[in-house]
Amino acid sequence: MILNIPNYLKTDQVAAILGVSVRTLENWRSTGGGPRFMRVGKRAVRYRPEDVQAFAEGMTFANTGEAQAAAA
């Protein structure tokens, strides 16, 4: 049996993909504003690629009004 194990991403990798700082991702983890993540042990944080993709797709808007409504 072959397991389909995804390649989990580290915080610095996700920060580079999204074009934000590691600190921003850390803040988002505290406030719930970023992509879904998982903890591995006490300190290690990992992200599934599909969660990062879903987060990025959820941040696309057709116009400024749409973006402002989402932020409210």
Per-residue pLDDT tens digits for 5-42: 668 999 999 999 999 999 999 999 999 889 999 998 88
Whether residue 58 lies inside any domain: the answer is: yes
Whether residue 2 lies inside any domain: the answer is: no
Whether residue 4 lies inside any domain: the answer is: no
Mean pLDDT of 33-53: 92
What's the sign of the alpha-carbon dihedral 67, 68, 71, 72?
Answer: negative
Nearest to 10 by CA among 20, 19, 22: 22
Q: How many domains does the chain have?
A: 1
Predicted TM-score (pTM) of this structure: 0.80
Whether residue 30 lies inside any domain: the answer is: yes
Whether residue 34 lies inside any domain: the answer is: yes
Q: What is the pLDDT of residue 68?
A: 82
Bridge partners of 44, per DSSP, are: 40
CA dist., res. 8 & res. 42, Å (int): 17
Whether residue 67 lies inside any domain: the answer is: yes
Q: What is the pLDDT of residue 2?
A: 58
Helical H segments across the chain, by residue range: 11-18, 22-31, 49-58, 64-71
Whether residue 6 lies inside any domain: the answer is: no
Mean pLDDT of 52-58: 92
Q: Which domain holds residue 33?
A: 11-71
Give the other-Cβ count within 10 Å of 56's Cβ: 12
